[in-house]
Structure 1
Amino acid sequence: MLSYWEKQSLLRYDVIIVGSGITGLSTAISIKEQAPRKRILVLERGLLPTGASTRNAGFACIGSLTEILSDLRHMPETDVAALVQMRRKGLQLLRARIGDDRMQYRENGSYELIGEAELPALDRLEAVNSLLSHILPGPAFSQADDKLPTFGFSRESVRAIVRNNFEGELHTGLMMRTLIDLAMERGIEIKTGCDVTSFEEDGDGVHVLVNNLLRFSAGQLALCTNAFATEFLPEEDIIPGRGQVLITAPVQQLPFKGIFHFDEGYYYFRELNGRVLFGGGRNLDFEGETTPEIALSARIQQDLEEKLRTVILPGREVTIEDRWAGIMAFGRNKQPIIKAVSPRVFLAARMGGMGVAIGSEVGRSLAVLMKD
């Protein structure tokens, strides 16, 4: 039972955004920047963002060497370069909007561990640098084999190291906390625990049913739920992909800092307050990890532990302190989806596991598309 006042003043907005992750909040902030008087509502099904925005490893990535080489086997060079450029622009926008200090952004370096089978990738390093030379202010990659003795990785598994000169790391929790604060400072309303059951569009606008109870209305609706967008638009090429992570207790005399990748970016780890945060392994079981279920797989967690103890910290005893999972979104190609579904309904999804890097730019692009 709703009062006249509630129906008149508390359920109507100019824009409703579904999803309070990086893309949803970035879309809302970008709309406010171009139209400060618009009333914007962000709806989040969970008490916290549900997908990957608060569950990632805090990598500010543009892509590792072997990942880019893998992309070049399946995509034209121009498309690969455009993706790297989007990641770079997204990170620049995120840093300008938030400020490095407010999310502990720092560039201690990004490194890729090269195994025996990947050594031929080194022969193409300069070609990739040339491909990206118009995007970055200097060479993207350089060899850093001098770090091998210092970092202490298994010399049987790691034969070379490549440095990415334009990647960084950040504190995911502080990044999201600041995005929430910025949104609220601009008058954007965020309501959590709001499961969007359905929506319908008519001549008056878009009407959004929440928790099978409340019906909000707006002139425009933006779906920014990444992998979960198929609940509303099942025809879209959006495939969920689970990412699993573990973090150790503090490790005495940890020999490395910064962020690291190996195996075409399918594995990633970093130093975090003296701990090792290590995630990935989705390629070990693509079928099983193509799921929207936020859960842990014993097989992948065991694989992460094994690689932690044999490749990253060989011969060291470590204690696992915590584990979690998040849901990413992929498709037949790596381009994000940014489009109008109808005159009033818009979609931004399929971040390809790069939401930290591209989420801000995707949100800005969607806001431009929605500008009326």
Structure 2
Amino acid sequence: MRFELSFWEQKQYFTNIDVVIVGSGIVGLSAALSLKEKSPKINILIVESGALPSGASTKNAGFACIGSISELIDDLKKREEEEVFALVEKRYNGLKRLRERIGDAGMHYNAYGGYEVFDNVINYEECADKITDFNFELNKRIGIKEIYKNADASIAKLGLNNTKHLISCSAEGQIDSGMMMEALIDKAKLAGIKILNGLHVTSFENENDKIKLQTKNGYIFQAGRMLICTNGFAKQLLPSEDVEPARGQVLITSQIPLLKIKGNFHFDRGYFYFRNVEDRVLIGGGRNLSFETEHTTEQNVTTLIQSKLEELLREMILPGINYSIEQRWAGTMGIGTNKDPIVKKIQKNIYCAVRMGGMGIALGSLTGEEAAALVFAEL
């Protein structure tokens, strides 16, 4: 069924749109803000299918990270060294840009650092052997010495059980993802950028030098340019692009008095991750337990993965401590055959910025700005 817009709706929201951005996550908002900075008079509309950003921007774990050593080792098995470390550098600079745009207080950024947790010696030794080389390479690129260090001395202080070794990463921090997104949305509205929620774009086409967009609820409207920033949902509009959905499941505990855990923690090549949220523990991941099942845009949680997350809480993170599980949820990441974002022109007047590879907090700001530059160059 097609719903007709009223005169007032058409005039106020859907007339003379220079750029429509599909997706109101970190990438979409960053692109819109960057376009406004380049051209303050440009008319930008952001449309979002959900009441809140639908992918991972408000459903992630709040990790401001650049990659653990085991993740980088895995990446180096598939890609050239220059490509891997260039992406790490982009993550670091992306986090820096996000902090500049919002301010640390605006997203409760805490530079607690991070750790990679090892429950066996073999995996640790492979990573430990790379510490010196990786530190040398990253110091050249981002100017920080000794990012990675052995941190075995912190195991007891952090209260970890079944842990043989730790490697720390000084370049990590954590944020409040809800505060971050609210700050970006507030900045967008202050800049005169319109944001409409509940508009699920289902199709589009070029028509008379305009983009004609069709929505699930029947609305049809036009814009001069279209930028698709739907990340894990990108296949719905861009079926030929190398980006697939990946579900990330999470849970959070009740408040725990005298909690020892502080910082970000990565385990099992980054497939599991946990952190403190003040005096709670948030833990997520586990899609490696069932890649096929987790290759979905559905945002329900599963018994298989939630049970494993609870097992890690009991046996490794909070042994012998009383707590309860207060919330469980899932978000949708965008992944592909490599971890570089896709930022490109799709066809005349249509562009995309998708596939954050589970690193949207780190990559979203610069990816959005890169997409904005691409669109602006052809306005």
**Is the CA contact 1:240–1:292 (under 8 Å) kept in the aligned structure 2?**
yes
Q: Does 1:238 align with 2:227?
A: no
TM-score (norm 1): 0.97
Tell me if the contact between 1:24 and 1:363 (Cα under 8 Å) persists in the aligned partners: yes
Out of 1, 8, 16, the residue aligned to residue 20 of structure 2 is 16
User: How do 1:137-216 residues align onto structure 2 when only pairs under 5 Å count?
Assistant: 137-138=143-144, 139-154=146-161, 157-216=162-221
| Superposed counterparts of 1:266-345, under 5 Å | 266-345=271-350
Q: Which residue pairs with 2:37 in the alignment?
A: 33
- State the shift of 1:48 in Å: 0.7
| Offset, 1:5 | 6.2
Give the Å deviation of 1:343. Answer: 2.1
The answer on whether the counterparts of 1:18 and 1:225 sit within 8 Å (CA) in structure 2 is yes
Shift in Å, 1:280: 0.7
Q: 2:26 touches 2:364 (CA, 8 Å); kept in 1? A: yes
The aligned counterpart of 1:64 is: 68
How far the C-alpha of 1:56 sits from its partner, in A, is: 0.4
Give 1:4 deviation, angstroms: 5.6
The residue type equivalent to 2:131 in the other structure is: L
User: Residue 106 of structure 1: which of 104, 107, 110 is its match?
Assistant: 110
Contact 1:54 1:176 in 2 (8 A): yes
Question: Offset at 1:251?
Answer: 1.2
Percent sequence identity is: 46
Q: Return the offset for 1:199.
A: 1.1
The alpha-carbon deviation at position 317 of structure 1 amounts to: 2.8
Amino acid at match of 1:136: I
Letter in 2 for 1:345: I
Task: State the secondary structure of the residue aligned to 1:148.
Answer: helix
Distance 1:30 1:334 in 2: 23
Q: Is the 8 A contact 2:244 2:334 kept in 1?
A: yes
Q: What's the offset of the Cα at 1:136?
A: 2.2
Which runs of 4 or more aligned residues in structure 1 lie more than 6 Å from their structure 2 counterparts after TM superposition? none
Residues 233, 244 of structure 2: 8 Å contact kept:
no
Gaps of 5+ in 1: none
Question: How many angstroms apart in 1 are the aligned matches of 2:9 and 2:334?
Answer: 37
Q: How many residues are aligned here?
A: 370
CA contact (8 A) 2:113 2:169 kept: yes
CA distance in 2 between counterparts of 1:224 and 1:205 reads 19
Q: Could you say what secondary structure the match of 2:129 adopts?
A: helix
- Pick from 49, 53, 67 the counterpart of residue 49 of structure 1: 53
Return the alpha-carbon distance in structure 2 between the equivalents of residues 82 and 354 of structure 1: 14
2:130 partner SS? helix
Match of 1:134 among 128, 137, 140: 140
1:6 Cα offset (Å): 5.2
Once the two structures are TM-superposed, the CA of residue 2 in structure 1 deviates from its matched residue by: 4.5
1:318-363 per-residue CA deviation (whole Å, 9 max, x = no partner) reads 2111100001011111111000001200011110000011000100
**Which stretches in structure 2 are left out of the alignment for 5+ residues?**
none
Determine if contact 1:309/1:317 at 8 Å carries over to the other structure. no
CA distance in 2, matches of 1:354, 1:332: 15
Asked whether the 8 Å contact 1:11–1:215 carries over to 2, the reply is no
Structure 2 counterpart SS, 1:341: strand
SS at match of 1:20: coil
* TM-score (normalizing by structure 2): 0.95
Residue 214 of structure 1: CA displacement? Answer: 2.1
Counterpart for residue 354 of structure 2? 349
Aligned-residue Cα RMSD (Å) equals: 1.3
Partner-residue secondary structure (3-state), 1:310? helix
Deviation sequence 1:267-326 (CA, Å, 0-9, x none): 111111210001111111111101111111100000000011001112223211110000
Cα deviation for residue 159 of structure 1 reads 1.1
Residue 45 to residue 178, structure 1, CA distance change in 2 (3 Å): same
